[in-house]
Chain A
Amino acid sequence: MSTFLDISKIDMVFPTPKGDFTALKEVDLKINKGEFVSLIGHSGCGKSTVLNVVAGLYQASKGGVLLNNRHVLGPGPERAVVFQNHSLLPWLSAYENVELAVKEVFSKTMNKAEMKEWIEHNLKLVHMEHAMHKRPDEISGGMKQRVGIARALAMQPQVLLMDEPFGALDALTRAHMQDSLMEIQDELKNTVIMITHDVDEAVLLSDKIVMMTNGPAATVGEILEVTLPRPRDRIALANNTEYNRLRSAVLTFLYEKQRKVEVISNKSATATKGENKTPKIEVA
């Protein structure tokens, strides 16, 4: 069996007034069907860039992405994205936000009643059935992110891409959302790539943790397989030796092998990324 998603030696070069800036260099990653992969690394190391290339929002300067042996040339609903800032359309209710996606993807294969049922099913999956007809500004940050996830799931994507989905949430809500996501994942067995800053989140959720080196010319540093049995329970895992070994492995990579000199790289990141969304800088 060949790989499901093949990120094949991609380079990403952004032209800037001061010359080219190489954000990614030979990022190579193979992901199997149904695998949950986390990308972790310091701010500005190009995690989001990798995700955007897979989503098709950016075109790699060199190399490419193969999904099911087909070259990814542009964005599409089979690679649904959950954005960091939920990016719900504020003039539509939660239901209508999901509806927009469902109408685009399933208008040929579903009739109206089936679509309605499918929208409601996905909102139930993320426990949002009680606030279906509320607008984004009437619900909390965690709820918005749930709707964002429902919208992505409703596209029935082959790969679900999540860009720091819980980064903007408080710790309690975040834990809650992680549990929800694990539940959904047990049921749907999606292939997921998730970007995170949070070491615990990466170990808890993933089958594979991909640790990236610092930019410029960032690339895959180490890959860690997580073989903890599922379903996983965060409280039970706290004293699990394997869990703690994995956790310290990630921490060692981030804070010893790839220690970041904040000031210099921050400057270069903002200067070179220009109008692209600069990743949230989180002081760990």
Chain B
Amino acid sequence: MTTLIRKFTVNTVNLPDWFISIGRNFTALIMPFIGIVCFLFLWSLSASYIDTSLGKFPGPSAVATQIGNLYQEHIDERSKEDAFYQRQELRNSERLANDPNYVVKTRSYTGKETFIDQIATSLVTVMSGFIVAAVIAIPMGIAIGLSKTLNNAINPIIQIFKPVSPLAWLPLVTMVVSAVYVSDDPLFAKSFINSMITVTLCCIWPMVIQTSVGVASINSDWLNVSRVLRLPALTHIRKIVLPATIPAIFIGMRTSLGIAWMVLIAAEMLAQNPGLGKFVWDEFQNGSSQSLSRIMTAVIAIGLIGFLLDRGMLMLQRKLSWDKTSASR
């Protein structure tokens, strides 16, 4: 009797593993898919009803075409560049063979930057600005968190500068950079420095605030451990304060990286500095029948990259932080 029952249950329940796991993950896997499909449908539906002076508002299919176009342009531009350098090299070696005293001149290629180049420029800018900000903000936040006096002195300044949009700084930054950063053979382009400083200015405040709050709210038991052991100041910071504050530092870093990415696009549009923002602005000024769909492609790329940057920070946090609960979302 029992064997019969067992046989019966095994036969009915014995579904393949992949089927069970799909069933279990149904909402996690299928719902985002359904959400995206609905969005694409609504988007293409409403796009077909919007007419602008530059043609219809781009729908998903127009964007898909543009992704192909932009990639093809990038490939073409690269092969042009390669051809240019090959020609140059050939020419130089010929002249050198004819005239051994000839001093070889190499000129760099000056073709237009492609969409993918612009993405790379923006990414490099945002990461450099972010890293500079972290290098300044984390030690500053720790110092402010450790000293009440310093906190009282600096806090009003932070509170006033925090709400300022970094774009308001942009004209000042541009003028100061062009006045101060003078060099015949500059290591970085001025436009890069401008964008980078703007990013730094908006990244600093959230990081300083989060770090200092994190330091000020360290578990008092851990501080007592340090006092009982009479840890010297530097060891205290290295062994207790810094690790204890890591979760708070990451909150600040993720917030500021998100803001920085938004601000950078706007700054590039406003100041015509190379990057995705300039791409959007150029296309807008260009005003061809393809412009809107190219801009829409850029919008989606910007969103996707912003999302990936945040995921990247989250992965870094999971790797570095001991507090796994705060790194779960």
Contact = CB atoms under 8 A, between A and B. Distances in A.
B220 A277 contact: yes
A104 B224 CA distance: 15
B222 interface: yes
B221 A104 contact: no
A135 B322 contact: yes
Interface stretch (B57-65, B86-94, B175-183, B227-235): B227-235
B242 to A, nearest CB: 10
Contacts of A277: 220-221
Interface string A45-85: 00000000001110000000000000000111101110101
B323 interface: yes
A261 B229 CA distance: 39
B225 interface: yes
Interface string B315-328: 00000001110000
Contact of B219 (A56, A87, A101, A155): A87
B218 to A, nearest CB: 11
Contact of B229 (A83, A91, A101): A101
A91 B221 contact: no
Given A55-B228, A104-B231, A91 B243 contact: yes
B80 interface: no
Interface of B is mostly: helix
Interface of A is mostly: loop
Interface in B195-234: 219-222, 224-225, 227-231
A89 B240 contact: yes
Given A90-B323, A91-B243, A100-B239, A57 B227 contact: yes
B224 A100 contact: no
Contacts of B220: 277
B222 A89 contact: yes
Nearest to A84: B221
Give the most central of A74, A79, A100, A105: most B CB within 10 Å.
Answer: A100
Contacts of A91: 243-244, 246, 322
Chain B interface size, as a band, is 20 to 34
Given A83-B221, A87-B219, A277-B220, A104 B229 contact: yes
B88 to A, nearest CB: 55
A87 B230 contact: no
Contacts of A80: 228
Contacts of A85: 221
A137 B321 CA distance: 13
Given A83-B221, A83-B224, A277-B220, A89 B243 contact: yes
A57 B222 CA distance: 13
B196 to A, nearest CB: 32
A75 B230 contact: yes
Contacts of A87: 219, 221-222, 224-225
A105 B229 CA distance: 7
Contacts of A104: 229-231, 235
Given A87-B219, A90-B323, A100-B239, A81 B224 contact: yes
Contacts of B225: 83, 87, 89
Contacts of A81: 224, 228
Give the most central of B225, B239, B246, B322: most A CB within 10 Å.
Answer: B225
Contacts of A155: 229
A83 B323 CA distance: 21
Given A81-B224, A83-B225, 14 more contacts: A75-B228, A76-B228, A76-B230, A77-B230, A79-B228, A85-B221, A87-B224, A89-B244, A90-B323, A91-B244, A91-B246, A105-B229, A135-B322, A277-B221
Q: Which 6 A-B pairs have the closest CB atoms?
A: A87-B221, A91-B322, A75-B227, A91-B243, A104-B229, A75-B228
Interface of B: 219-222, 224-225, 227-231, 235, 239-240, 243-244, 246, 322-324
18 contacts: A57-B227, A57-B228, A74-B227, A75-B224, A79-B228, A80-B228, A83-B221, A85-B221, A87-B225, A89-B225, A89-B239, A89-B244, A101-B229, A135-B322, A137-B324, A155-B229, A277-B220, A277-B221
